[in-house]
């Protein structure tokens, strides 16, 4: 094939951090108007490869060709000038500015006297949004927008700078289903306009829905590049994980739930703020309860109220039949409840601290000797957690910030499971983790339940929810509208209709 068709070509890229090789001789190319999926396990080097293309890091060896011409990309500005735009998940917008101000940040249209013409940016932002065929108010403050709008704003920002290639790193990780669908339609339209998209995702259905070709990285090496018509899902999964895994997302009936037994947790008429209204349910030992619902339906807020973060306005919470008050997370933890939060970076981790310190944070009581902490014991405990959860980290003392996204998620989960809670609430536990790890996490959830613990899983991925839940509660506008035993849910579609309240 002719290299001139390639808008981007990366040849033999290698990169190490502090002597640890992360990318080894990786080649990658993107054609005009194609969606190219980039897949691989957690820590395989996907984000690093893209950051090299984006000018955030520089490769140790290899070259980058843009439109067939060797181009040095030494800074983010270089990448922008070369027509490469990136939709970051976490940090590319300034919450205190408006949508239009963010889109034209550092490239503001200037009016008379060299002063910023904010009206012109609003007008041009509107043009970009109408080309994207989405409706976003450019004057809205970004802080008040939901994730889906952040993303649309980021895409608009890249397009306003004439990006020809858009890099999307796990763009649907925090989107609700209908929002993801809207994003896919947008990607289709962008493709039609000749814009190329590099799409990183751990979700196979998305890859098949969108991508023309796929490249798989494993442990920093290029494994294969192929049109999606030429590879089967099984081959892809095997390529990513390095071994065959079967039936990871199928439901396995477990008979540990004593349906008539006394509930571990009982919630009666719980109301907290605007998003949790008159919620009642019971969780039995050994049961896995799935919470389904649209984004914003109040599932996260329910979890927060149960964990003592949000104030409970009325209603009661009973643990093993005894009324308790969850005034603070500390009380909840003491009562044996653990919450694995949704936004791992903001709520789950101290990013600058080491993996070990993060893991031990909820466990300080266990490693205390007198008034002091027992260093050796802490080290032992954290190493065992790292091993048990297969966290990919060079050394327990490295800051969590340097871990890949999926490995950060593993640290959050490991951290809370270390406390050995009786009731575990997981909010989107597999966001951003690779397929291999996902099935490990689901297995772990099943194991915990089989050991008699109560588990509540919040997930926007229906296959995952259906794979583990014994019972699914459908949440809408802060209330539970359906309570369906797993055996009555025939398939994903049934659940989807239930969630939409049909």
Ligand X SMILES: Nc1ncnc2c1ncn2[C@@H]1O[C@H](COP(=O)(O)OP(=O)(O)OP(=O)(O)O)[C@@H](O)[C@H]1O
How far apart CA 430 and CA 435 sit, in angstroms, is: 9
> Residue from 26, 30, 46, 355 that binds ligand X (CB under 6 A)?
46
Residue 44 within binding range of ligand X, rule CB under 6 A: yes
> Residue from 65, 120, 282, 295 that binds another protein (CB under 8 A)?
295
| Cβ atoms of residues 449 and 465 within 8 Å | no
> Residue from 6, 201, 215, 300 that binds another protein (CB under 8 A)?
300
Residue 501 within binding range of another protein, rule CB under 8 A: no
Query: Which stretches of 451-486 are DSSP H helices?
Result: 462-468
Q: Which residues contact 185 (CB under 8 A, 6 or more apart)?
A: none
Applying CB under 8 A, which part among 29-37, 58-66, 91-99, 280-288 lies near another protein? 91-99
Q: If DSSP codes are grouped into helix, strand and coil, which group holds residue 325? A: coil
Helix or strand holding residue 235 (H, E): helix 233-241
- CB atoms near residue 488 (< 10 Å): 9
Residue 343 within binding range of another protein, rule CB under 8 A: yes
| Three-state secondary structure readout of 64-109 | EEECCEECCCCCHHHHHHCCEEEECCCCCCCCCCEHHHHHCCCCCC
> Residue from 1, 18, 19, 144 that binds another protein (CB under 8 A)?
144
> Residue from 43, 171, 293, 348 that binds ligand X (CB under 6 A)?
43
Nearer to another protein, 384 or 500 (CB): 500
Q: What share of the chain is helix, strand, coil (3-state, %, to 5)?
A: 35, 25, 35
Q: If DSSP codes are grouped into helix, strand and coil, which group holds residue 275? A: coil
Residue 242 within binding range of another protein, rule CB under 8 A: no
Number of residues that bind another protein (CB under 8 A): 53
| Cβ atoms of residues 128 and 109 within 8 Å | no
Nearer to ligand X, 103 or 200 (CB): 200
Name the binder of 406 from ligand X, Mg ion, another protein, none, CB < 5-8 A by kind: ligand X
Name the binder of 310 from another protein, Mg ion, ligand X, none, CB < 5-8 A by kind: none
Site residues for ligand X, 408-447, by CB under 6 A, read 434
| Cβ atoms of residues 189 and 308 within 8 Å | no
| Cβ atoms of residues 198 and 30 within 8 Å | yes
Residue 17 within binding range of ligand X, rule CB under 6 A: yes
Applying CB under 8 A, which part among 99-107, 211-219, 244-252, 356-364 lies near another protein? 99-107
Nearer to another protein, 185 or 380 (CB): 185
DSSP letter, residue 346: I
From the CB of 354, what's the least distance to ligand X, in Å?
A: 13
Residue 271 within binding range of another protein, rule CB under 8 A: no
Nearer to Mg ion, 405 or 454 (CB): 405
From the CB of 131, what's the least distance to another protein, in Å?
A: 14
**Under the rule (CB under 5 A), what is the footprint of Mg ion?**
47, 405
Residue 47 within binding range of ligand X, rule CB under 6 A: yes
Residue 71 within binding range of ligand X, rule CB under 6 A: no
Rounded to 10 degrees, what is the CA torsion of 346, 351, 356, 358?
-20
Write out the DSSP string of 392-457: --S-TTSBGGGS-HHHHHHHHHHHHHTT--SEEEEESTTTT--HHHHHHHHHHHHHHHHTT-EEEE
The separation between CA 218 and the C-alpha centre of its own chain, rounded to angstroms, equals 20
From the CB of 405, what's the least distance to Mg ion, in Å?
A: 4
Nearer to Mg ion, 206 or 287 (CB): 206
Which residue has the closest beta carbon to Mg ion? 47
> Residue from 1, 2, 18, 115 that binds another protein (CB under 8 A)?
115
> Residue from 179, 206, 266, 440 that binds another protein (CB under 8 A)?
179
Which residues does residue 474 pair with via DSSP β-bridges, in sequence order? 292, 482
What's the length of the chain? Answer: 502
How far apart CA 2 and CA 4 sit, in angstroms, is: 5
Q: If DSSP codes are grouped into helix, strand and coil, which group holds residue 21? A: strand
Applying CB under 8 A, which part among 177-185, 191-199, 220-228, 448-456 lies near another protein? 177-185
Q: Please give the residue ranges that form the binding site for another protein (CB under 8 A).
A: 56, 75-77, 80, 86, 88, 90-97, 101, 105-106, 108, 110, 114-116, 134-137, 139-140, 143-150, 152, 174, 176, 178-179, 182, 294-297, 300-301, 342-343, 346, 477
Q: Please give the residue ranges that form the binding site for ligand X (CB under 6 A).
A: 17, 22, 40, 42-48, 392, 402-407, 434
């Amino acid at each position: 094939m002719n290299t001139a068709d390639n808008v981007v070509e990366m040849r033999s890229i290698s990169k190490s951090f502090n002597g640890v090789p992360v990318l080894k001789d990786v080649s990658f190319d993107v054609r005009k108007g194609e969606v190219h999926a980039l897949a691989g396990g957690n820590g395989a080097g996907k984000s690093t490869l893209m950051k090299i293309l984006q000018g955030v890091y520089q490769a140790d060896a290899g070259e980058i060709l843009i439109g067939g011409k060797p181009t040095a990309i030494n800074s983010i500005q270089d990448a922008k000038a070369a027509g490469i735009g990136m939709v970051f998940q976490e940090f590319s917008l300034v919450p205190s500015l408006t949508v239009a101000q963010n889109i034209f940040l550092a490239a503001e249209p200037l009016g008379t006297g060299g002063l910023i013409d904010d009206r012109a940016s609003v007008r041009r932002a509107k043009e970009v949004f109408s080309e994207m065929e989405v409706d976003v108010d450019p004057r809205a403050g970004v802080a008040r927008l939901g994730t889906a709008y952040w993303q649309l704003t980021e895409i608009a920002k890249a397009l306003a700078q004439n990006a020809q290639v858009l890099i999307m790193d796990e763009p649907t990780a925090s989107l609700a289903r209908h929002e993801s669908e809207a994003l896919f339609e947008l990607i289709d339209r962008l493709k039609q306009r000749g814009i190329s998209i590099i799409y990183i995702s751990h979700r196979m259905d998305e890859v098949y829905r969108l991508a023309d070709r796929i490249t798989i990285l494993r442990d920093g090496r290029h494994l294969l590049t192929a049109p999606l018509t030429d590879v089967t899902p099984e081959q892809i999964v095997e390529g990513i994980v390095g071994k065959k895994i079967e039936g990871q997302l199928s439901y396995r009936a477990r008979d540990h739930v004593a349906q008539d037994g006394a509930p571990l947790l009982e919630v009666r008429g719980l109301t907290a703020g605007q998003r949790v209204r008159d919620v009642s349910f019971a969780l039995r030992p050994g049961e896995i309860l799935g919470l389904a619902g649209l984004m914003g339906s109040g599932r996260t807020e329910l979890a927060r109220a149960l964990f003592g973060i949000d104030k409970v306005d009325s209603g009661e919470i009973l643990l093993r039949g005894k009324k308790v008050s969850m005034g603070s997370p500390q009380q909840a933890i003491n009562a044996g409840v653990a919450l694995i939060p949704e936004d791992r970076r903001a709520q789950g981790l101290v990013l600058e601290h080491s993996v070990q310190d993060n893991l031990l944070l909820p466990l300080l009581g266990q490693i205390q000797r007198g008034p002091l902490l027992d260093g050796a014991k802490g080290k032992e405990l954290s190493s065992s957690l790292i091993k048990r959860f297969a966290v990919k980290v060079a050394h327990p003392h490295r800051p969590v910030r340097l871990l890949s996204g999926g490995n950060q998620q593993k640290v959050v989960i490991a951290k809370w499971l270390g406390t050995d809670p009786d009731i575990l609430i997981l909010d989107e536990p597999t966001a951003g983790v690779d397929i291999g790890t996902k099935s490990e996490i689901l297995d772990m959830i099943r194991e915990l339940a089989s050991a008699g613990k109560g588990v509540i899983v919040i997930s926007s991925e229906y296959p995952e929810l259906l794979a583990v839940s014994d019972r699914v509660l459908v949440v809408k506008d802060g209330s539970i509208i359906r309570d369906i035993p797993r055996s009555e849910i025939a398939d994903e579609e049934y659940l989807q209709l239930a969630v939409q309240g049909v």
